Amino acid sequence: MVDRKERGEGEVPAPPWRRSRKPPQPRRQLSQDLIIDTGLRILDAEGFDALSMRRVAQELDTGPASLYAHVAGKEELLELIYDRVLGEIRLPERDPARWKEQLRAYAMEAHRVLGAHADVARAALATIPTGENSIRAGEFLFGLLIEAGMAPREASVAMDRLSLYIVGDAYEASLHYARMRAAGMDDPEAYFRSFVGQIAGYYRAIPPERFPYVVKHVDDLIADDGEQRFRYGLDLILDGIEARMPRDP
Amino acid sequence: MVDRKERGEGEVPAPPWRRSRKPPQPRRQLSQDLIIDTGLRILDAEGFDALSMRRVAQELDTGPASLYAHVAGKEELLELIYDRVLGEIRLPERDPARWKEQLRAYAMEAHRVLGAHADVARAALATIPTGENSIRAGEFLFGLLIEAGMAPREASVAMDRLSLYIVGDAYEASLHYARMRAAGMDDPEAYFRSFVGQIAGYYRAIPPERFPYVVKHVDDLIADDGEQRFRYGLDLILDGIEARMPRDP
DNA sequence: GTGCTTAACGAACGGCGTTCGTTACGAACA
DNA sequence: TGTTCGTAACGAACGCCGTTCGTTAAGCAC
């Protein structure tokens, strides 16, 4: 069956069972890095729910199957994206004398980075920290606590709890972010006000004889924003760690 | 190809265009409660990923569409299940003099309940607490802190951070549970040992010149189990709160 | 130039949440 | 008692999803 292409009059179409010899495709060059970048871009721009293997593939002008040569699956992709974001965390030289200050600075920096890539936190909690940057952060925290005088075994748990707090808070924040997006808004400020208003209205409507404190202090329940809450909880934890440092005061 | 059922020879099937007048269906009686119960049962038995609208419907011998008369969608179903589980938390009479003790007991009780329904925590973080039982718990914590002398505005944040810690920890634990299930195991003890072994092996294989503390103290990093870690972090937070109670020391 | 490894790919599978339009039950009403 | 009617139940379908299979073709070693 010869198919003559290009302006031959009365061109006979190739029979359907004869698969066309493929138009000259340039064959995109994929790589794990490229896939991670693309995934992160989608995550930032459209949110966690929009991130799918198909969506990534589409962005790269290919089919979903092509990704599997570079990435084991969606879960691994999420872990890789997470570790890439962790790489944005800047770590100072360790200075054990100022351990508390440095621990706070680390937490705020991590909080900032996870906030900048809001939905990455949704991938974070699902992950066991085995990436390069994850270990890098772990070494920093672990080393800092040990050098400050804490026993390694205790330092391990303290580091773990601090990390859980940071990621847990970021996760919660990302859910609000998702709700905002779902509501079609894009100004966090406006969303915060509308959300807080809704909650306040709801709380004010519940029976005060059963839940007197909640109803009475609605305004206090919604007073602080995410940033202030994060700092408060962070200080709780840091003070607790300080109290456990040997020979501190 | 006629398949004649059960010894009635040559039974003529109804013509396809004549829709059968419906066999006498009892028409199951659905209800929101029944749906929540079923969902929780699936969650406990098969895990978060197994919970789907279709799976719930199948369990109730119906189609997924039938559920939507009682439940707005999957998200609402998850919130309802979560609130139901919160209902299992037993709350004591408030005794402000023993606020710290009661706060710890609450945390351990909540931890226990969320542990008993492992994957519910996966639904919990995604939820904004508006359920009856959620408010009940909030009223308890909020009231306890205020009666113990904390300003309502600060009590609000402290309660929020404590709750985040409890749920965040449960969420993390549930992910390990899911991994265990995915690995085909069903003994948490055995899983814990195998998991810890893997992590230890991995950490021991990383370059010690770059990550000296992590490599040197691998054994300390994997020493404590989830229960011990939870208590440690809980005490960090409670001590921090105590330090902020007016005229306490 | 030839063989071989392997990235890229098209198509399909089974599952998902949700919606649409229809059916028939049971209560309200005549 | 007979009829109407709101609505729970439902079957089917839509448009997604993650992943796998088998094929194709590009680039490299020889």
DSSP letter for each residue of B216-237:
HTHHHHTSS-HHHHHHHHHHHH
Residues of B (45-84) placing their beta carbon closer than 7 angstroms to any atom of strand C are 50-55, 64-65, 68, 73-75
CB of A72 nearer than 7 A to strand C: no
Q: What is the mean pLDDT of chain A?
A: 85
pLDDT at A5 over 60: no
pLDDT the model gives residue B21: 33
Q: What is the mean pLDDT of chain B?
A: 85
Q: Which residue in chain A has the smallest CA separation from B235?
A: A240
Q: What is the mean pLDDT of residues A228-240?
A: 97
**Cross-chain Cβ contact B146/A213 below 8 Å:** yes
Which tens digits make up the pLDDT trace of B12-55?
A: 344 333 333 333 344 457 788 999 999 999 999 998 989 999 99
**Cross-chain Cβ contact B142/A217 below 8 Å:** yes
Are B120 and B51 a contacting pair, CB within 8 Å?
Answer: no
- Provide the shortest C-alpha distance from residue A113 to chain B (in Å): 19
pLDDT the model gives residue A245: 94
Cβ contacts from A onto B, under 8 A: 154
Which tens digits make up the pLDDT trace of A104-144?
A: 999 999 999 999 998 898 877 766 677 899 999 999 999 99
Q: What is the mean pLDDT of residues B75-84?
A: 92
DSSP letter for each residue of chain A:
-----SS-SSPPPPPTTS-------------HHHHHHHHHHHHHHH-GGG--HHHHHHHTTS-GGGGGGT-S-HHHHHHHHHHHHHTT-------GGGHHHHHHHHHHHHHHHHHHTTTHHHHHTT--S-SHHHHHHHHHHHHHHHHTT--HHHHHHHHHHHHHHHHHHHHHHHHHHHHHHHTT---HHHHHHHHHHHHHHHHHTS-TTTSHHHHHTHHHHTSS-HHHHHHHHHHHHHHHHHHHSTT--
Chain B residues near residue A220 by CB distance under 8 angstroms = 152-153, 155-156
Minimal Cβ distance to A241: which of B143, B157, B236: B236
**Cross-chain Cβ contact B213/A128 below 8 Å:** no
pLDDT the model gives residue A126: 64
Looking at per-residue confidence, does B214 or B125 come out higher? B214
CB of B129 nearer than 7 A to strand C: no
Minimal Cβ distance to A160: which of B152, B229, B240: B229
**Cross-chain Cβ contact A235/B235 below 8 Å:** no
Q: What is the mean pLDDT of residues A176-193?
A: 82
Q: A160 at the B interface (CB within 8 A)?
A: yes
Interatomic separation, CA of residue B183 and C1' of nucleotide C13, rounded (Å)? 23
Minimal Cβ distance to B156: which of A146, A164, A223: A223
pLDDT at A81 over 60: yes
Which tens digits make up the pLDDT trace of B133-148?
A: 999 999 999 999 999 9
pLDDT the model gives residue B20: 36
pLDDT the model gives residue A189: 84
Interatomic separation, CA of residue A66 and C1' of nucleotide D27, rounded (Å)? 17
Which tens digits make up the pLDDT trace of B87-124?
A: 999 999 999 999 999 999 999 999 999 999 988 988 77
Q: What is the mean pLDDT of residues A176-190?
A: 81
Question: Predicted confidence band at B228 (pLDDT cuts at 50, 70, 90)?
Answer: very high
pLDDT at B3 over 70: no
Which one of A150, A177, A213, A218 makes the best mutation probe of the B interface by having the most chain B beta carbons within 10 Å? A213
Q: B109 at the A interface (CB within 8 A)?
A: no
Phi-psi region of B149 (alpha: psi -120 to 50; beta: other; left: phi over 0): left
